[in-house]
Structure 1
Amino acid sequence: MGQQMCQQESVCCSAETCKVDIDKLADGAPMEGPADAECPQCPPSDASGSASYLEEGAQLGGLFSVDAETVRFVSLASTLQSGGWMWRVRPEKMNHTELLSLWARSTQTDAFDVFVSHTWSTPGHCKYLSLLLSSCWHYALAAWLATAVPLLFLYWNRALPLVAIYPTTFDSFELRVPYWPWIQPATFLAAAAALFLAPHCILHRFFTTRCFYDVVCVNQADPWEQRQGINSIAGLLAASKQLRILWSPSYLSRLWCVFEIAAYRKANPHGELRFQPLFVERDILVLWTCGFLAAVLFSAMLSSFTYSSVLLGAILCLVFLPGAHFVRRGYREQDLLLRNLAEFDLSAVSCACDFDRQFILSAVRSWYGSTDAFVEYVRGPIREELVETMQQSRVPFQYCILALSPIFGFQLDVFGALINARAPQNIAIKFLGQSITILAVAVWGVRLFFWLSQKMAQPIFKLDFLQTALVVLIWAVMQVIPFWSVLRAFQTDEGGVAAAAVVFTLLAASRLPACKTMLSKVIRISGAQGKMRTSSSG
């Protein structure tokens, strides 16, 4: 928070007087000049009385106390309305009236549900999309379901025009039924609309999440209140139930962001520290779009080509290339994060104002005994906690379902075509069961997609896009046997039931912590044995 406000202050860090170029920082450009360049209008670190102020302010009773009038919140939903404009504003480019209007959107409170920790250099739309999907994904899935069910009833009542022919073979029957993609595009558009309109929903606004967002909750129009907000960060963190870190590659290079982690762990040893890498939601949104394009292309080809699993596989490989490229880039960012944590160096972290740097370092020494002890704390417990949180949230189950929903929408269109044509009941029911089972298998497929992208995230040769194509090709080949087995199993009554039972049992088991732990041990043992064989052969 402080790193943002120091860059924005019209009195304390103006573009004309400070060595830091504010506009370049806001655009994400690297900082010019020394990281700890002293702002001429900031209180100097050796000014009269500043040393005693720092010593007293760094005590727990001083920093964690806060004026009740400065504790203000804004609902998380309101920051996500109208395309998330609050996350894209540039306070240093707003006039006094606009800044007051922005601050007026916050309300006085006594505690926060979420304290959002972020860097000003990260583009606002990245933070907006990450918070939007993580907060409103259930609205998208609900809208998808609410759109699919009525369309299935319209299929049953033969109220939808079907102008194409869908050829299929099931139970040795060759069927050619009238078909047209209604559910697949309609559900995707409904889910996307619900996702972006959810912050405006009365139901969503009823369950208000009290959020501390520095741009809105601190009066940016008043330099004195701005400075008071900076000095009260520790107290504001103490009043928050959760610290949500919107991580981007530049996060740990900002001293104020590091300070927020340090202060929160001292203020709330048992508080929730939620690590939210911005690339996770970005990758899921890209995969969701790729799934939609794959389903649209396949539906468009049905009128000209015979249904073929090979054709479907080729389309999936082609369309999912951009998705794999984004996911691989996300894992490279994750590797950078782990490396930054393991090699954390407090002296290399930047701060726009020397007075703020001395203020933060004094507080860190008071809380942790020395800066070296704090560095070890970041490299050790903080890193372990963030890594554990990261592993739990990398590919959430609900995100997998959302990414696969366009493909399942295509399957429901085929099911609707079958009931519209009054196909034998056993065939329609089998096809629906087959589609649901394939969806469950596809969830594993998505996790496999991410796993392969992680293992091959780092470029091996110069043509990196060819490496992405290799990831997609390996993924597609590994999907053949599971999907072929499900399709074959549903050709018999007993086989279909058995396939569905096995798939859902394994899916449920994979969600259990014990099964995950056992699988992790098997992987570690296999890796250790492989290294031993390699070393012995060498």
Structure 2
Amino acid sequence: MRALGAAAAVRRLATMPPAPVAPPLTTVLTPLPKGTGPDFPASDLVTGGPALVFAIRRMCRKEAKEAASHMDEFKAAGATRVVALVKEDLENEVKEFREGFWPGEVLMDSEHKFYKALGGGETHQPLGLLSFLGMMLNPFSSSKTKANIKNTTTPGNMKGEGFIAGGCYVLNKDGTPAFSHLEENLGDHAKPEACLTRTLWQPCKLLRRCKLQLAGTVGVHAASRNGSEKGCSAVMVNWEDLHSMNDAVQLSLTQRVDVMEHGEDGDALPQGDGSSLSEGSEDSISNGPEANPFIESWIQILMQMRVTSPQVQRGIPVYRALQEAPLKWARNELGEIHALTRTTSQFHEFWSHSWRTKAWLKYINILFLNNGLPAFVIGTLFALTAFLLSFTGLLPVWAGHETGYVWCTPAGIFGYYLTLLFWRSRKLAFLDIACINQSDGRMKAEALVSMGAFLKESQSLLVLWDATYVTRLWCVFELGAFLHSKGPEAKAAKCLQVCPVFVGPAFLAGHLGFSVLLLVFLISQVQLFPWGGLLLGGLAFPCLVQLADLVLAHCRSIEVMQHQVRDFTIEQSKSACCSCGHVDANGGPMLCDRRIILRCISAWFGSKEKFESVVRGQVLQVLVHQLANRVFSYWRIVQITAPAGWAVLDIWCDNFKRGSDSVDKVPGIPTPMEVLNMVYSIIFFNFMLLPMGALILLRLAYAARHVGERRCTQILLSLGLVKVGALLAVVCMVLEIITADFLGGRQESPMYAIVILSTMGLLTLFCWRCLPAIKVSVPDVSRQVGQCSDIPVPEC
């Protein structure tokens, strides 16, 4: 296995492009259209200062349009020239390119020197013509290039060479690259924010923004805190002190990440001098004693949701987080966990969670959410394969039984859990303990400052919910930042998934218990009526009561959550820095997270009061909708009840082998009606009866959430729900038998199957699609007293 892993690593390294090198400044560039200016060497680009060079792959209009929209920001950040570089001069194409997509200079690199420098010495071609056509024609291809092509809305240019990858350079005044980006896949354009970051982070820019002036003298001329405004603006610092100041800021910011490793201790805000640091106005961070240009710059980057460096934005493949990270976590090998990540421009998911929740609960949730559906599909394929092998006689009967074929259910169980544990999901997720470098203090601090960018570049936000989530300031901040980055409320609601931490363990325990129960029934070879039903009921009853109690607890937790969110205030939320009095483990001062977060919230939402209104309105609507209507979804229930379909395959395979009394029946070969009955049984039980019954019981459980606070009352209520479920199952089966007899019998006429499946299908569709969704049930006190929110809250 190690040899295979090493070989795979070598193949990956062999296909990765070399790192970009500095472009040759002797390269001759030609202004386009030709005749608009003389040719000149590339060194002239940086004569007046830093330059930004976009090496366009094939006059890519999308990349040019996006970069052109930031032209003024590039110039304000210190770029003296911003140019587009192309490989060839196409007839009429440059004119159209400049008129519609790029207002700046267009230069031609006819020798491809810049493109070769981006490729590490040779031009980088991610795909050839044949591989490109194969990728586009393959409906199962998950190539990043194909996704980039599908996601673009800008009409593209199809003329000229299109397979040599482009990229971007930020060149210092001496011609050395401060930043480079290679188009690793076609369409992986450089983010304008990354280019801006590389210019805005120059110390001279920071000093100008903070009204500090560099002096040519050595030493520091300190200004008095009580001095005039003129004296304060004339403060002169040297580079040595600036670096010391920067290190102090990094140390303060990394305290927060250290808390991520060990969890947040303490629930109550401290009293005395320490707690006073977290109080005050929203702009106190810039007026307090710890104010300095580096803090201000970092806060600006956080508020603008920019990343400090492309190398900081890293994601971990989901399969690595599930299969490799847990063992390294147990060994406390945090550096090894970080090595599992890779740089990315976008995350599929951002995993938001409270550190007060047990790690194993969150792990099982992520395992079920990401691998549950593939496990269901492959488990079913395993069961169908076992059915075909049993039917053809390639699998033997079980010992002691003439026709005892019990292979489908074990095969389905084996395929399900094998896939659940080893499915290689290629999605990239942000997990703080993995994606933030725990061994490099500077990288830690930069990752923390870039948290807004991480949320902005995430396609969806997964909230691993528990009762402590809304009490933690950073959790609410992540939620607020994500909502702000996605814009309209309806769009943000679609990108948000809330999953209580008990869901994964509950569903997997239910699936495993149901599988074992059906295995016992099948191996016992007892007829379903009457003794088989009694056996199943007796074994399932205690488990079902426990499950009903868990569902009732979940419904009550939704009520508690509504009260928590309705009463939410930033002052009552808790943060680790305030809990420890803003003093680190070594006795040094810590920067207050609350002040920084308040600055960001005020910039995004206008004021902290409006943000609190958004939480009590829009966020509450989304949370209630997700927790009450999406946790027990139709397809999740189908996944959990999948063993019922596998057991039906075993039962019918056994029936086919036993034969029938019909004289027209060929031994061992099923009749068309028998095949129809088998398909009918699977669809009826797995996709209609069980999901519809589960939804009815879920609605009853939510309606009864207020009934009884004593433990014995809750147990009786759970018993009642199980009895109602059993009664519904009996009624449905009796009605099915009566309808089948009325329509000509199960074995003679297919009409009964058509009528029953149509009726049950409509009922199931009505229950899951037409029943009104559960909405907020806790009244908004502020609306009752006339303090209505200024922000409209849409329906989920």
Query: TM-score by structure 1 length?
Result: 0.78
Q: Take 1:263 and 1:21, find their aligned partners in 2: how far apart are those partners? A: 19
Residue 465 (structure 2) pairs with residue 247 (structure 1) = yes
Q: In the TM superposition, what whole-angstrom CA distance separates every residue of 1:50-109 from its partner, at most 9, and x where no partner exists? A: 287766655578542221232112112221114x617x937xx84xxx333322222222
Q: Take 1:296 and 1:236, find their aligned partners in 2: how far apart are those partners? A: 46
Residues 314, 342 of structure 2: 8 Å contact kept: yes
In structure 2, the gaps of 5 or more residues are 1-250, 279-283, 579-591, 666-670, 778-796
Residues 257, 448 of structure 2: 8 Å contact kept: no
SS at match of 1:275: strand
Residue 312 (structure 2) pairs with residue 70 (structure 1) = yes
C-alpha distance 516-32 of structure 1, shift in aligned 2 (>3 A):
closer
- Provide the residue aligned with 1:133 in structure 2: 368
- Provide the residue aligned with 2:589 in structure 1: none
Q: How does 1:378-527 map to 2 (within 5 A)?
A: 378-423=615-660, 425=671, 426-427=673-674, 429-439=676-686, 440-457=688-705, 460=708, 461-463=710-712, 464-491=714-741, 492=745, 493=749, 494-512=751-769, 515-517=770-772
C-alpha distance 459-193 of structure 1, shift in aligned 2 (>3 A):
farther
What is the Cα deviation at residue 302 of structure 1?
Answer: 3.8
What is the Cα deviation at residue 21 of structure 1?
Answer: 12
| Equivalent in 250, 255, 273 of residue 12 of structure 1 | 255
C-alpha distance 378-60 of structure 1, shift in aligned 2 (>3 A):
farther
Q: How does 1:309-324 map to 2 (within 5 A)?
A: 309-324=533-548
Q: Take 1:149 and 1:356, find their aligned partners in 2: how far apart are those partners? A: 55
- Provide the residue aligned with 1:183 in structure 2: 408
Q: How does 1:131-170 map to 2 (within 5 A)?
A: 131-158=366-393, 159-162=395-398
User: Higher RCO, 1 or 2 (CA under 8 Å, sep at least 6)?
Assistant: 1
Q: In the TM superposition, what whole-angstrom CA distance separates every residue of 1:277-304 from its partner, at most 9, and x where no partner exists? A: 3233333223212322331343354449
Q: Take 1:35 and 1:253, find their aligned partners in 2: how far apart are those partners? A: 19
C-alpha distance 289-447 of structure 1, shift in aligned 2 (>3 A):
farther
Residues 297, 315 of structure 1: 8 Å contact kept: no
Q: Take 1:250 and 1:278, find their aligned partners in 2: how far apart are those partners? A: 11
Q: Take 1:320 and 1:294, find their aligned partners in 2: how far apart are those partners? A: 12
What is the Cα deviation at residue 481 of structure 1?
Answer: 0.8
What is the Cα deviation at residue 427 of structure 1?
Answer: 4.5
SS at match of 1:344: coil
What is the Cα deviation at residue 329 of structure 1?
Answer: 2.6
What letter is aligned with 1:507? T
SS at match of 1:469: helix
Q: In the TM superposition, what whole-angstrom CA distance separates every residue of 1:122-144 from its partner, at most 9, and x where no partner exists? A: 11221221122211222212222
Q: Take 1:142 and 1:510, find their aligned partners in 2: how far apart are those partners? A: 24
Count of paired positions: 480
C-alpha distance 505-219 of structure 1, shift in aligned 2 (>3 A):
same
SS at match of 1:245: strand
C-alpha distance 162-218 of structure 1, shift in aligned 2 (>3 A):
closer
SS at match of 2:632: coil
C-alpha distance 281-9 of structure 1, shift in aligned 2 (>3 A):
farther
What letter is aligned with 1:285? L
Structure 1 stretch displaced more, 103-112 or 386-395 = 386-395
Q: Take 1:30 and 1:479, find their aligned partners in 2: how far apart are those partners? A: 49
What letter is aligned with 1:409? W
C-alpha distance 227-120 of structure 1, shift in aligned 2 (>3 A):
same
- Provide the residue aligned with 2:607 in structure 1: 370
C-alpha distance 358-391 of structure 1, shift in aligned 2 (>3 A):
same
Q: In the TM superposition, what whole-angstrom CA distance separates every residue of 1:163-191 from its partner, at most 9, and x where no partner exists? A: 577xxxxxxxxxxx843533223312321
What is the Cα deviation at residue 48 of structure 1?
Answer: 2.8
What letter is aligned with 2:597? I
C-alpha distance 164-511 of structure 1, shift in aligned 2 (>3 A):
farther
Residues 73, 106 of structure 1: 8 Å contact kept: yes
- Provide the residue aligned with 1:224 in structure 2: 442
Q: Take 2:379 and 2:756, find their aligned partners in 1: how far apart are those partners? A: 26
What is the Cα deviation at residue 504 of structure 1?
Answer: 2.3
C-alpha distance 62-498 of structure 1, shift in aligned 2 (>3 A):
closer
Residue 430 (structure 2) pairs with residue 193 (structure 1) = no
More helix per residue: 1
- Provide the residue aligned with 2:355 in structure 1: 120
Q: Percent identity?
A: 19
CA RMSD of aligned residues (A): 3.7
- Provide the residue aligned with 1:169 in structure 2: none
Q: Take 1:36 and 1:212, find their aligned partners in 2: how far apart are those partners? A: 37
Residues 290, 320 of structure 1: 8 Å contact kept: no
C-alpha distance 37-398 of structure 1, shift in aligned 2 (>3 A):
farther
Q: In the TM superposition, what whole-angstrom CA distance separates every residue of 1:311-342 from its partner, at most 9, and x where no partner exists? A: 54444333322222322233333333222222
Residues 157, 420 of structure 1: 8 Å contact kept: no
Q: Take 1:105 and 1:21, find their aligned partners in 2: how far apart are those partners? A: 18
SS at match of 1:501: helix
Q: Take 1:213 and 1:22, find their aligned partners in 2: how far apart are those partners? A: 12
C-alpha distance 448-302 of structure 1, shift in aligned 2 (>3 A):
farther
Residues 63, 232 of structure 1: 8 Å contact kept: no
C-alpha distance 263-485 of structure 1, shift in aligned 2 (>3 A):
same
Q: Take 1:104 and 1:311, find their aligned partners in 2: how far apart are those partners? A: 52
SS at match of 2:556: helix
Residues 449, 475 of structure 1: 8 Å contact kept: yes
Query: TM-score by structure 2 length?
Result: 0.54
Residues 380, 412 of structure 2: 8 Å contact kept: yes
Q: Take 1:195 and 1:211, find their aligned partners in 2: how far apart are those partners? A: 18
SS at match of 1:249: coil
What letter is aligned with 2:396? L
Q: Take 2:370 and 2:260, find their aligned partners in 1: how far apart are those partners? A: 34
- Provide the residue aligned with 1:282 in structure 2: 505
